[in-house]
């Protein structure tokens, strides 16, 4: 059995130790209970390792919107997605929200991109917690599908297309982002901010350090 090198793009991650980023997530993505469809590829669409058995599916219109946005752009793998793309769930407890995996190594995949030849098998895996958040699922999947189409780098074009075709949800509208934020807050060493100047204390409702004390208005010092 040959160990085939794999090239993974862990693009959509939500690091728990950098939870301040949760507050800046734009608005927008879709639950699996909604109107979702399969990719059409049909290769190994169901996981068998326990947990969720039904593989994720692409929301109606998402792939078409991505195709439209990529017209005139360098996305050589786009035309091969119907044949080569698989969708699956990441293992439970995975920190990343999504991941794109090519079965060949990075040098080979960039060579194939340059030559415009098929990428070979491509797997997009999503975190199962996204099944509870329709909008965040759609945004994460759009992000990964752009990688699978050949936009391998995290540049402005990649981010802008993902924002246009499937905007990310606001924190208040996303049960997953709120849950992740609460996990981070509960793991902080203290449940309150305490001003080092006047001694005023207040409950931590955000992850980022406050700029000023709400009572004395002086720059915050712990």
Residue-wise pLDDT for 140-158, tens only, equals 999 999 999 999 888 888 9
Mean pLDDT of the residues in the chain: 76
Residue 108 above 60 pLDDT?
A: yes
Q: Answer whether residue 2 is part of any domain.
A: no
User: What's the total number of domains in the chain?
Assistant: 2
User: Do 201 and 166 belong to one domain?
Assistant: no
User: Do 52 and 148 belong to one domain?
Assistant: yes
Q: Answer whether residue 201 is part of any domain.
A: yes
Q: Who contacts 135 (Cβ-Cβ below 8 Å, separation ≥6)?
A: 27, 28, 29, 30, 166, 167, 168, 169, 173, 174
Q: Answer whether residue 70 is part of any domain.
A: yes
Quote the domain boundaries for residue 219.
189-222
User: Do 22 and 54 belong to one domain?
Assistant: yes
User: Do 107 and 15 belong to one domain?
Assistant: yes
Least confident of 4-13, 16-25, 100-109, 131-140: 16-25
Q: Rg (Cα) of the chain, in Å, rounded?
A: 20
Give dist(CA 140, CA 171) in Å, integer: 15
User: Do 103 and 160 belong to one domain?
Assistant: yes
Q: Is 140 exposed, middle or buried (0-12, 13-18, 19+ CB in 10 A)?
A: buried
Give dist(CA 106, CA 140) in Å, integer: 22
Q: Answer whether residue 38 is part of any domain.
A: yes
Q: Answer whether residue 219 is part of any domain.
A: yes
Q: Answer whether residue 84 is part of any domain.
A: yes
Whether the Cβ atoms of residue 186 and residue 205 lie closer than 8 Å to each other:
no
Q: Answer whether residue 198 is part of any domain.
A: yes
Q: What mean pLDDT is predicted for residues 102-107?
A: 91
**pLDDT band per the 50, 70, 90 thresholds, residue 122:** very high
Residue 9 above 50 pLDDT?
A: yes
């Amino acid at each position: 059995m040959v160990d085939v090198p794999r090239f993974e793009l862990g693009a959509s991650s939500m690091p728990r130790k950098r939870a301040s980023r949760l507050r800046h997530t734009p608005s927008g993505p879709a639950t699996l209970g909604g109107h979702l469809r399969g990719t059409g590829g049909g290769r190994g669409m169901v996981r068998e390792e326990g947990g969720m058995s039904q593989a994720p599916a692409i929301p109606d219109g998402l792939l078409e919107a991505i195709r439209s946005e990529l017209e005139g752009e360098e996305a050589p793998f786009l035309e091969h997605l119907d044949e080569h793309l698989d969708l699956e769930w990441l293992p439970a407890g995975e920190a990343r929200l999504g991941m794109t995996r090519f079965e060949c190594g990075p040098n080979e995949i960039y060579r194939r991109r340059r030559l415009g030849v098929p990428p070979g098998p491509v797997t997009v895996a999503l975190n199962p917690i996204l099944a509870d958040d329709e909008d965040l699922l759609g945004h994460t999947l759009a992000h990964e599908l752009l990688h699978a189409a050949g936009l391998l780098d995290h540049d402005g074009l990649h981010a802008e297309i993902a924002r246009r075709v499937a905007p990310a949800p606001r924190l208040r509208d996303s049960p997953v982002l709120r849950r992740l934020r609460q996990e981070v807050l509960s793991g902080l060493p203290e449940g309150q901010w305490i001003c080092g100047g006047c001694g005023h204390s207040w409950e931590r409702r955000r992850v980022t350090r406050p700029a000023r004390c709400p009572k004395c208005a002086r720059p915050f010092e712990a």
